[in-house]
């Protein structure tokens, strides 16, 4: 397995150096940014002039595994330890840059932006397109956009709310139980591999989830000479709730509010617990109701995450959002299990192993 770490210019995508590292951890997540943390020695800092090539936000860090860019995004931190002679580079996925961009439209009198005639996924594409093409200049980024799907949704953002593009994209992925997935997949440019670009991928009304085109991946820890090295779990019920409350725009009695509830677990002996979220930029009740239903769907079961460690050569093409069959036999904790799971996060380091965070598609109580 070949692992390379690149640095480059964010606005053009140009790779300016491929650097040796002594420490590396990266994560790729669905509907979010992901991270990269790399450590280099002082001789590398000097040889590659990294102080001038790794400016925060101006420069990117990218991880390439067997000729596939697994994660890439702007550098945000670079602490220097002069005693150890180590530079630590911290980066996040390209989504994080959109968290730094305020939504407004300089072409309108009140600077508000309205997008209409799109599906939810189409709204997301049109919003990123506006961010890339609006005035003032210097908004260019090597992001490849899909066509914006038509639909009957309309969104308006007032400048005074200071809504951010990244947060609004996250909200779109949580609008309803069938809200579209969004991800920005980095890759080398096909016409010039000295450059990388980010391909925006968005679920449609017909297929809101992003997942592999072929059959489900199989992670079978019971198979002879299995590439699955082990399966742990992490369960946290602290955010569990049977009733969800969501607030929108407004104050006190005029605040928009929606709720959703499920009695299924109460009938099975669980006590009533409640959760809440706030969306101060939401001004339409149907939109807020969708957020409440999504929060309930995310909170109405104890969330058990399967922590699967496997050989990278067998599962190097698995992406967050992909579906898999996860199988155990006689496991001391999981027992005999054969369930459909969905990959939430992929992470790696300098070893030949990958780690996958998965959750069951159907709740297991």
Average pLDDT of span 239-268: 90
How far is residue 253's CA from residue 288's CA, in Å, rounded to a whole number? 16
Which parts of 87-245 fold into alpha helices (H)?
Answer: 95-98, 120-133, 165-172
> Same domain for 18 and 123?
no
pLDDT at 227: 98
pLDDT at 302: 64
pLDDT at residue 129 is higher than 90:
yes
Q: Are strands 86-92 and 80-81 parallel, antiparallel or unpaired?
A: antiparallel
pLDDT at residue 364 is higher than 80:
no
Domain span at 229: 217-236+303-360
> Same domain for 247 and 150?
no
Average pLDDT of span 247-265: 89
Query: Tens digits of per-residue pLDDT, 276-309?
Result: 999 998 888 888 999 999 899 888 776 789 999 9
Query: Tens digits of per-residue pLDDT, 88-106?
Result: 999 999 999 999 999 999 8
pLDDT-based confidence at 247, cuts 50/70/90? very high
> Same domain for 22 and 127?
no
Q: Smallest Cα–Cα separation from 288: which of 332, 335, 256, 326?
A: 256
Average pLDDT of span 222-242: 93
> Same domain for 283 and 307?
no
- Omega before 149 within 30 of 0, i.e. cis: no
Look at the chain and report how many structural domains it folds into.
4
Torsion angles phi and psi, residue 237, rounded to 5: -100, 10
Residue 27 in tokens? 């994560």
Cβ atoms 181, 212 nearer than 8 A:
no
> Same domain for 295 and 309?
no
Query: Residue 337, CB half-sphere, CA atoms under 13 Å: how many?
Result: 23
> Same domain for 227 and 329?
yes
Report if residue 89 sits inside a domain.
yes
Cβ atoms 210, 323 nearer than 8 A:
no
Query: Tens digits of per-residue pLDDT, 149-195?
Result: 999 999 999 999 999 999 999 999 998 888 999 999 999 999 999 99
């Amino acid at each position: 397995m070949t692992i390379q770490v690149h640095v480059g210019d964010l606005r053009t995508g140009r790779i300016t150096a491929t650097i040796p590292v002594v420490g590396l951890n990266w994560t790729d997540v669905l509907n979010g940014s992901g991270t990269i943390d790399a450590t280099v020695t002082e001789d590398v800092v000097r040889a590659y002039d990294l102080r001038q090539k790794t400016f925060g936000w101006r420069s990117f860090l990218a991880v390439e595994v067997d000729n596939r860019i697994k994660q890439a995004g702007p550098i945000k931190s670079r602490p220097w330890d002069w005693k150890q002679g180590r530079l630590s580079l911290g980066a996040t996925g390209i989504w994080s840059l959109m968290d730094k961009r305020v939504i407004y439209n300089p072409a309108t009198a009140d600077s508000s932006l309205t997008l209409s005639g799109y599906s939810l996924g189409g709204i997301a594409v049109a919003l990123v397109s506006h961010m890339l093409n609006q005035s003032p200049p210097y908004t260019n980024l090597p992001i490849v956009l899909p066509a914006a799907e038509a639909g009957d949704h309309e969104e308006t953002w007032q400048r005074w709310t200071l809504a951010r593009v990244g947060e609004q994209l996250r909200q779109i992925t949580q609008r309803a139980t069938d809200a579209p997935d969004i991800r920005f997949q980095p890759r080398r440019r096909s016409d010039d591999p000295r450059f990388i670009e980010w391909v925006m991928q968005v679920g449609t009304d017909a297929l809101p989830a992003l997942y592999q085109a072929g059959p489900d991946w199989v992670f079978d820890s019971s198979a002879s000479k299995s590439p699955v090295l082990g399966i742990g779990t992490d369960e946290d019920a602290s955010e569990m709730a049977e009733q969800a409350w969501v607030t929108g725009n407004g104050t006190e009695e005029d605040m928009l509010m929606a709720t959703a509830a499920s009695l299924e677990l109460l009938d099975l002996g669980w006590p009533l617990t409640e959760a809440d979220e706030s969306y101060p930029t939401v001004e339409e009740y149907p939109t807020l109701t969708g957020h409440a239903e999504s929060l309930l769907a995310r909170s109405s079961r104890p969330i058990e995450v399967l922590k699967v460690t496997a050989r990278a050569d067998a599962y190097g093409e698995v992406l967050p959002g992909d579906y898999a069959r996860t199988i155990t036999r006689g496991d001391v904790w999981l027992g005999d299990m054969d369930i459909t799971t969905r990959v939430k996060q992929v992470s790696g380091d300098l070893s030949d192993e990958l780690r996958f965070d998965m959750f069951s598609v159907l709740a297991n109580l």
